[in-house]
Amino acid sequence: MFIRDYPLSKVTSLGVGGPADLFIQPKSASEVAETQRFAAEHDLPLTIIGYGTNILVRDGGIRGIVMQIADSFAQAKVEGTILTAQAGCLLGSLSKLALLHNLSGLEFAVGIPGGLGGATFMNAGAYGGEIGPLVHSIQFVQNGELGQWSRDEFSFSYRNSRLQNEAHGAIVTRVELELIPSEQQDILQKMDDFQNQRRSKQPLEFPSAGSTFKRPPGHYVGPLIEQAGLKGLRIGGAEVSTKHAGFLIRTGAAKARDFLDLIEKIQETILQEYGVSLEPEIRILGDD
């Protein structure tokens, strides 16, 4: 059931970070509930990850249990305008499934590399679109039991959702998205446009965890970092991308500490020069 001392660098897009004490990949909502109950009964911390595309795991790893909800828990179907998907489904795959059924709303997600569970947790978005407004209902596990929220019970804001604010850790297992019928050619055109923008502006050829910082009110992160002269700055194997300064990339061998030090350097510089506080968009997990 559990794998001991599993190296989390294997399941994160940055490819850095220490081990999980215990690691599991559930295949069903009942296994998610069983794992949550086990953690509570044995007083073990429980950390949920998806495809590891927006997290930075510290070099000391993560204590307790790490549960990865990914491709072992990734089935989806479409009925009318409702796309129902398990939390481990990749956003890009769901975008293409919607396209096949002539449904619009997920075009922005075509190039986002993460899964639906994590995207719902953080209200992921790009190019003016977000997951939150599409949610019709959410199935989750809380206190070892299955529950459900309707659209009216689910709240979201910029890179935030009710899931982040639940005191007793609700874990997404399934999401229903309500989409809009549209012409397939129009949907495909939008998807192609977004993909072309991604390829031209983002450092897809290097390992990264996506946008490192949330966008502060009234500013854009990339231009701020570039104006501060930090583009290309490197600490160890971590570097501010020369293609898009809002991304930190791994160039060869690196430690999580390299990224943490680079993040801190950027935050200090931007605060000192512009009076703007940068808050990480990536989740920083584990121990040093």
- In the set 13, 161, 208, 211, the catalytic residue is 211
Is the CB of residue 121 less than 8 Å from the CB of residue 164? yes
Burial of 210 (0-12, 13-18, 19+ CB in 10 A): buried
Do the Cβ atoms of 141 and 173 come closer than 8 Å?
yes
**Is 211 one of the annotated active-site residues of the chain?**
yes
pLDDT at 166 over 80: no
198 belongs to a structural domain: no
Which of the residue ranges 42-46, 159-163, 175-179 would you say has the lowest mean pLDDT? 159-163
Cα separation, 241 vs 78, in Å, equals 39
Span 223-260, pLDDT tens digits: 999 999 999 999 999 999 999 999 999 998 999 999 99
Amino acid at 184: Q
Q: Structural domain tally of the chain?
A: 3
Is the distance from CB of 107 to CB of 184 less than 8 angstroms? no
Q: Are residues 120 and 85 in the same domain?
A: yes
Asked about 279 being catalytic, the answer comes back as no
In a domain, 153, yes or no: yes
Query: The domain spanning residue 20 has which CATH number?
Result: 3.30.43.10
Q: Residue length, the chain?
A: 288
Q: Are residues 81 and 162 in the same domain?
A: yes
pLDDT tens digits for range 117-165:
999 998 988 888 999 999 999 999 999 999 999 999 998 988 889 888 7
- The per-residue pLDDT for 165 is 77
Domain of residue 255 covers: 203-285
Task: Please identify which of the residues 159, 162, 174, 250 carries the catalytic annotation.
Answer: 159
Asked if 221 and 144 sit in the same domain, the reply is: no
DSSP 8-class letter at 216: P
82 and 187 within one domain? yes
Work out the angle at residue 267's Cα, subtended by the Cα atoms of residues 263 and 270, and round it to the nearest 5 degrees: 135
Report the CATH number at residue 91.
3.30.465.10
Q: For 160-166, which contacts have Cβ atoms below 8 Å and span 24 or more sequence positions?
A: 160/122, 160/123, 161/120, 161/121, 161/122, 161/123, 161/132, 163/120, 163/121, 163/138, 164/121, 164/122, 166/142
Are residues 175 and 207 part of one domain?
no
Residue 199 vs residue 83, higher pLDDT: 83
Q: What is the mean pLDDT of the chain?
A: 95
pLDDT of residue 221: 95
CATH no. for residue 249? Answer: 3.90.78.10
pTM: 0.92
- Verify whether residue 107 is a known catalytic residue: no
- 117 and 25, same structural domain? no
pLDDT at 172: 95
Does residue 64 sit in the same domain as residue 132?
A: no
